[in-house]
């Protein structure tokens, strides 16, 4: 992937939800699926440019799994793969395991 986000933006690969529930119920393709709210960080920008000319520290790093606001990302396709571009301020949490 050759994407380099600018400012405080990050590139996220959405984590797809399984089509079978934990209890074993298979969800049909006809059900309207919500957009993913979780993903893995694939690239990060250098940080927001501050008034004094320095860059702010980015809280996420490549490989982090994050939860973000549902309608905040911009969807793009690169090499037939879907990615999301999100401002760091729209990331709600980092998922730790």
Contact 69, 35 (CB under 8 A): no
* Ramachandran angles phi, psi of 88, nearest 5°: -60, -30
**What's the CA gap between 31 and 79, in Å, rounded?**
27
Predicted pLDDT at 18 = 63
Which tokens belong to 49? 């440019």
- Please give the structure tokens belonging to residue 94: 């980092």
| pLDDT tens profile 23-81 | 777 766 555 555 568 999 999 999 999 999 899 999 999 999 999 998 888 899 988 99
Q: Which domains does the chain have, with CATH numbers?
A: 9-15+35-95 (2.30.33.40)
Tokens 């600018």, residue located: 6
């Amino acid at each position: 992937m050759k994407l380099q986000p600018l400012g405080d933006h990050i590139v996220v690969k959405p984590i797809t939800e399984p089509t079978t529930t934990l209890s074993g119920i298979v969800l049909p393709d006809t059900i309207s699926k919500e957009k993913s709210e979780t993903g893995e960080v694939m690239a990060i920008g250098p940080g927001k440019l501050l008034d004094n000319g320095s860059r702010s520290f980015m809280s996420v790093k490549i490989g982090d799994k994050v939860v973000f606001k549902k309608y905040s990302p911009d969807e793009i396709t690169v090499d037939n793969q879907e990615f999301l571009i999100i401002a760091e301020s729209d990331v709600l949490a980092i998922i730790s395991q």
